[in-house]
Chain A
């Protein structure tokens, strides 16, 4: 009864304790109280209580297993004689599949298959042991029934474990040869020593014999009560030992016991649930003895009614009365109902869950430096704000800013979105975010010292925003890609121009440097901290120096064609960088830069490969040609958009001497008419000439710019006049050819020549575009006229006479649209007005 079954019967209660313990004592004690119903009905009503109930429900499942075992008892019968004679399970009534526990239902089947098909069992060690398991049962049963001297009364708490030990002790002398019989009764030991007796194949053959043997041996074993008691005594001591080391799991406790029978136990299927469960029970017993004491009274009542009645009928004193049973039943139902009612909300989140999620999300979004992960939104909103302020609108940031320099990733305008939450909530949020940021910073510091650093690339921690790359190869220590150093490796004055790849690398480096510098400028220290400002200035200056070096402006003028710097601003990417560069460079450097630019203007793509004049019918072009034209047009447009304003700005800072010098350089180093035939060239010369004119014409000190306050130096003026005269005379013969319409007419051929200027409605738009470009040239010649001396002006008009007349006539032509005619007249007047004339004077 004893051992194994005594243990089993107590299981349901244990189960109850089992889960009662992990929860809280309260739930459990409530359970212990005789009026359990109340405890469950009223108790707590909190979530914990609910949980406790729920787990209890689970543990009943454990109890069901035991119930099934009890059925086994019934099934296999108590009477020993029957067992010895008739050990066929198939003939026995199948165990009631009462609670649907897999093992119990499977029992009969396996047993029967085993008995019918022996060879199968031979292959299948699992079935084999299972079979053993069930076959050993009856024999155990017999022993247990025979030994009424149950030690339970003496030490209720340790009873089960003790019995557990007890069992093998009983069986061992009798069935030393039958290994399978022992496996079941000593689950903890076998679990602890799985390797001790690997199932020898030999067993399997003799299994049937063993079964028979077991059945026969059952009687003698039961009769040998004396050794059992001995064993029990020793085991009790061991049990006490275990009790002392309460925390230790039973598998550790078992090896301490040098019991020969247990060591003899050979085979065990480790996966069997029962073994784990019973060992768990042993652990529980050892850890919570007082629970074990308390349980039996209420716990026994929980067993399945059939079992209880059976027990009472056979030998146990009838503990649970029918009313009690009914009450238990009622309780059970209540609990089930409660579980079901709660199950409705199984997949719903509570407010605390939501809070938790929100915190996780916030911690992902929160950052100490908003510019790191939220660069676009932060800068975008900053730009927008500044634009709005400049437009006179109120401040209305589009991105939430939490505190100074602390950004919260949550987007959206502050106004309405958080209006409901109110300012208090936002401040609360910000403090929380601050904490989160600190925590994360610490966490990341720890995580950065990963053990695998450098072993297989860099180990990075991923998060939702930045998933961990499979392999991150450290690139930070990659040597800087320096096109100049590459250039310097070559000897000689002339070197190969930068390759496209080198240009792109150099540009990316420049962009990185600029971005860093801009970030640095944004992070300006407060104006009160003097030394910090000093440091900050130094850092910025160092960065500017780096950028200056990377621009390669100081490379010798003829180092390569194109010059490295020109190579850098040839692509659109570089052109876009130009104005941003100028913002940071000091004035003398910008002037150096402009000088270089003027000197090497012909090397610019937009000048050397200026877009060809438009053709009347673009269908005459090949696709590649069209693409090339489009690319060159785009480059020119970008150049005019990004670089020329910067050039204008620098030119405006120059004095007359510098302007004269630049014009001289340009005239000296390039064929000015070629440069002037391009839009960038026209723009450059217009800027230079108009600046010179403004300096000469307005010697009045300009309060805005003290540098220009001093009157024009006569020497400079003289130099300028000479330079300009030379420039004009070089340019004069080519003057009519500067106009895009003339160029287009010259370039036209075939039917295109007739189409050009025709009344093609599609050409109208192009015509307007052409007029706009003509206006640039007319503006240039106007500046020429303004700067020119008297006799030069006459020459100028003479050179342009044809063009003027042609344009005025075209404007008066009836087929010319009004819009275009106005533009033409305005263009001509731009030039003529400079000379004190007007288009209307031409008849």
Chain B
């Protein structure tokens, strides 16, 4: 739940999702669910020459299992809080 919780705080921010098929999509994160499925709005694709079929796509829903990386601005991450959340999660799991 930690990562889901984390991604929720990124809603309405611009992130870049790199898929396992090397397609990188930049867009505004609209929603994320517990499977880390991602809905992006106003998307643009890195390297559009390679993926011309994506030119017309304006928003997309990405199945969580196909995501390789998500890139986000460093300032939108509270690392200390993330550490604490990890500790809590670990503690919950131990209980």
* Contact of A375 with B34 in the complex, beta carbons under 8 Å: no
Q: Which of B67-95 contact A (CB under 8 A)?
A: 78, 80-82, 84-85, 87-89, 91-95
**What is the bound-complex CA distance between A508 and B33, given in angstroms?**
31
Question: What are the interface flags for B1-43 relative to A under an 8 Å C-beta threshold, 1 for contact and 0 otherwise?
Answer: 1101111110110000000000000000011111100000000
Give the Cβ gap from B40 to chain A, nearest Cβ, in Å: 13
* Contact of A411 with B9 in the complex, beta carbons under 8 Å: yes
**What is the bound-complex CA distance between A372 and B8, given in angstroms?**
15
Contacts of A375 in B (CB 8 A): 2, 5, 84-85, 88-89
**What is the bound-complex CA distance between A381 and B89, given in angstroms?**
18
Q: Does A91 contact B (CB under 8 A)?
A: no
Give the Cβ gap from A371 to chain B, nearest Cβ, in Å: 8
Cβ 8 A contact of B88, one of A398, A464, A465, A515: A515
* Contact of A373 with B1 in the complex, beta carbons under 8 Å: yes
Contacts of A576 in B (CB 8 A): 80
Residue tally, chain A, CB below 8 Å to B: 34
* Contact of B78 with A383 in the complex, beta carbons under 8 Å: yes
* Contact of B7 with A476 in the complex, beta carbons under 8 Å: no
The residue of chain B having its C-beta at the shortest distance from the C-beta of A416 within the complex is B12
Contacts of A380 in B (CB 8 A): 9, 78, 81
* Contact of B11 with A412 in the complex, beta carbons under 8 Å: yes
**What is the bound-complex CA distance between A373 and B95, given in angstroms?**
13
**What is the bound-complex CA distance between A380 and B85, given in angstroms?**
10
Tell me the interface secondary structure of chain B in the complex. Answer: helix
Contacts of A417 in B (CB 8 A): 31
* Contact of B84 with A464 in the complex, beta carbons under 8 Å: no
Question: What are the interface flags for A811-834 relative to B under an 8 Å C-beta threshold, 1 for contact and 0 otherwise?
Answer: 000000000000000000000000
Contacts of B82 in A (CB 8 A): 376
Cβ 8 A contact of A374, one of B1, B30, B32, B35: B1
Q: Does A44 contact B (CB under 8 A)?
A: no
Give the Cβ gap from B74 to chain A, nearest Cβ, in Å: 15
Cβ 8 A contact of A409, one of B4, B78, B87, B89: B4
* Contact of B88 with A377 in the complex, beta carbons under 8 Å: no
**What is the bound-complex CA distance between A374 and B6, given in angstroms?**
8
The residue of chain B having its C-beta at the shortest distance from the C-beta of A374 within the complex is B5
* Contact of A465 with B11 in the complex, beta carbons under 8 Å: no
* Contact of A376 with B33 in the complex, beta carbons under 8 Å: no
* Contact of B9 with A376 in the complex, beta carbons under 8 Å: yes
Cβ 8 A contact of B87, one of A373, A398, A411, A512: A512
Q: Does A80 contact B (CB under 8 A)?
A: no
**What is the bound-complex CA distance between A466 and B8, given in angstroms?**
18
Q: Does A101 contact B (CB under 8 A)?
A: no
* Contact of B93 with A466 in the complex, beta carbons under 8 Å: yes
Q: Does A85 contact B (CB under 8 A)?
A: no
**What is the bound-complex CA distance between A410 and B82, given in angstroms?**
19
Tell me the interface secondary structure of chain A in the complex. Answer: helix
Question: What are the interface flags for A502-530 relative to B under an 8 Å C-beta threshold, 1 for contact and 0 otherwise?
Answer: 00000010011001000000000000000
* Contact of B9 with A466 in the complex, beta carbons under 8 Å: no
Chain A CB within 10 A, most for which of B6, B8, B12, B34:
B8
**What is the bound-complex CA distance between A410 and B1, given in angstroms?**
12
**What is the bound-complex CA distance between A464 and B64, given in angstroms?**
13
Cβ 8 A contact of B34, one of A371, A465, A476: A465
The residue of chain B having its C-beta at the shortest distance from the C-beta of A415 within the complex is B12
Contacts of A413 in B (CB 8 A): 11-12
The residue of chain B having its C-beta at the shortest distance from the C-beta of A518 within the complex is B84
Cβ 8 A contact of B1, one of A466, A469, A515: A466
Cβ 8 A contact of A465, one of B1, B6, B91: B1
Chain B CB within 10 A, most for which of A373, A411, A515:
A411
Q: Which of A605-635 contact B (CB under 8 A)?
A: none
Q: Does A379 contact B (CB under 8 A)?
A: yes
**What is the bound-complex CA distance between A487 and B81, given in angstroms?**
32
Q: Does A365 contact B (CB under 8 A)?
A: yes
* Contact of A515 with B84 in the complex, beta carbons under 8 Å: yes
Cβ 8 A contact of B8, one of A361, A412, A464, A469: A412
* Contact of B9 with A465 in the complex, beta carbons under 8 Å: no
Q: Does A347 contact B (CB under 8 A)?
A: no
Give the Cβ gap from B45 to chain A, nearest Cβ, in Å: 24
**What is the bound-complex CA distance between A317 and B91, given in angstroms?**
80
Q: Does A475 contact B (CB under 8 A)?
A: yes
Q: Does A399 contact B (CB under 8 A)?
A: yes
**What is the bound-complex CA distance between A396 and B51, given in angstroms?**
37
* Contact of B9 with A476 in the complex, beta carbons under 8 Å: no
* Contact of B34 with A398 in the complex, beta carbons under 8 Å: no
The residue of chain B having its C-beta at the shortest distance from the C-beta of A519 within the complex is B88
The residue of chain B having its C-beta at the shortest distance from the C-beta of A412 within the complex is B11
> Can you show 24 pairs from A to B with CB atoms below 8 A apart?
A371-B88, A373-B5, A373-B92, A375-B84, A375-B88, A377-B8, A377-B9, A378-B5, A379-B85, A383-B78, A383-B81, A409-B1, A409-B4, A409-B34, A412-B30, A413-B11, A464-B35, A465-B4, A465-B34, A466-B93, A469-B93, A511-B87, A512-B91, A576-B80
New A-B pairs, 11, CB < 8 Å, besides A379-B85, A412-B12, A413-B11: A374-B1, A375-B5, A375-B89, A376-B6, A376-B78, A376-B82, A377-B8, A378-B5, A410-B33, A411-B4, A411-B32
- 8 A-B pairs with the lowest CB-CB distances in the bound complex, closest first: A411-B8, A376-B85, A373-B1, A377-B5, A376-B5, A377-B8, A375-B85, A380-B9
